[in-house]
Amino acid sequence: MTTTTVDLFASALHFHPDGDVRAVARQMTSSGSGAWQIAVFHVETDADVHADHWEMHPAAEEAVCCLTGGARLHFRPDRPGGAEDMVRLQAGSAVVVPRGRWHRLELDAPSDLMSITRRDGTRLEKRTETH
């Protein structure tokens, strides 16, 4: 086996159920592999974190980790007319997003973020003011 380094800002790591770990292209949607994806992103603006979209992972919880900078993680209301819940992430902090919970990010500053989840079935939905 050849050991090589992986640039986590250019690739993701997929941890497969059989124990294999592979460097792959980052994906926002499912690969259908059942693998857990660890991805690191350097983000400068809200557009870099698709702040105008809700995201949901039905196959697993997601750990959203703030390595540097700062961000706000918003949760879509459970019922129409309800208020969004918000968690502030500072450098060195993380939050676990429950399986199936719609969420989105906004930045407080340019940041390095890490996401760990199974992307199987991941959905994105354009944010509207009625949510």
CA proximity to 43, closest of 118, 115, 131? 115
pLDDT of residue 27: 72
Weakly modelled stretches of the chain, pLDDT under 50: 131
Residues in the chain: 131
**39 C-beta neighbours (distance < 10 Å), count:** 20
Distance, in Å, from the CA atom of 16 to the CA atom of 33, rounded to the nearest integer, reads: 7
pLDDT of residue 131: 45
CB 29, CB 120: distance < 8 Å? no
Please name the residue ranges forming H helices in the chain.
none
pLDDT, one tens digit per residue, over 26-62 is 877 666 778 999 999 999 999 999 899 999 999 999 9
| Residue-range domains of the chain with CATH | 40-126 (2.60.120.10)
Q: What is the mean pLDDT of the chain?
A: 92
Among left, alpha and beta (phi > 0; psi -120 to 50; other), residue 47 is: alpha
Q: How far is CA 21 from CA 8, 16, 17, in A?
A: 13, 6, 9
CB 111, CB 71: distance < 8 Å? yes
